[in-house]
Amino acid sequence: MTFGRALVWVLVLVVAGCAAASPVPDLASGAPVLRPEVLAELPHDPTAFTQGFELADGGLYEGTGLAGRSQLRELDPVSGAVRRSVPLPGRLFGEGITVVGDRIWQLTWRDDVVLEWDRTTFTLLRELPLADEGWGLCHDGSRLVRSDGTDMLHFQDPTTFAETGSIAVTLDGRPVTELNELECADGQVWANVWQTDRIVRIDPATGRVTAVVDAAGLLDAGRRAHADVLNGIAAVGNGEFLLTGKLWPATFRVRFVPR
């Protein structure tokens, strides 16, 4: 998601005080707390406002944001070099992406459309209507899972993008909001929590958060000063993931271990 909601979020906290929803997952909750064990550090384009991040068949696909600057990209997963890229039409503000066979779906933030690309040619095939905000997107093998910045996960048909259901995400019975970039892996949904260094693991059958990842400290203070928030998680396999963020100069290959 983008920076425009930050002021709104602060005002909500001031007005609401101790509200029921918790955009920052509590590390003292009943869910296990994990941390990323860094296995390798890889380059990442520090000009990329990362919104979607996914590995597929040897390619690392990235969707970037900002109006008039949004792109769909394929990266070399080792060097981080851009193999190819295409701009989004007009001033569309790109959001999450996911690969489905020979297609790539890409959300837009508040432009009320979702884009379907040909994965081989990076040709835009369709623009379909999207009724609410687009944040994160992943494919669990049979359906798409989408976040919209609230505590809800929406399930979409991978061919038509029609919504087929939804579920509320909770931690210790409390809603977890600001769910952003998503990754589907091993039957679970991993979600970056916007404006935090936390990632939550969600059981999509119940909406319950089953683990919280504390990813603070991945970037040292010097590099963090010129970067934006953690946002980008791509499953590698064998319990390993790639993590990056908006305007981050690095991508980290990690394994989640007990804190």
Tens-digit pLDDT profile for residues 40-73: 999 999 999 999 999 999 999 999 999 999 999 9
- Report how far apart, in Å, the C-alpha atoms of 220 and of each of 22, 58, 83, 230, 233 are: 27, 29, 28, 13, 19
| pLDDT of 13 | 34
Share of the chain above pLDDT 90, in %: 85
DSSP state of 88: P
The type of residue at 67 is A
**Which domains does the chain show, CATH number per domain?**
5-258 (2.40.128.630)
pTM: 0.90
| pLDDT of 54 | 98
Tens-digit pLDDT profile for residues 206-230: 999 999 999 999 999 899 889 999 9
Share of the chain above pLDDT 70, in %: 91
Confidence of residue 2 (pLDDT cuts 50, 70, 90): low
Tens-digit pLDDT profile for residues 114-162: 999 999 999 999 999 998 999 999 999 999 999 999 999 999 999 999 9
DSSP state of 208: B
Dihedral in degrees, nearest 10, Cα atoms 37, 43, 47, 49: -40
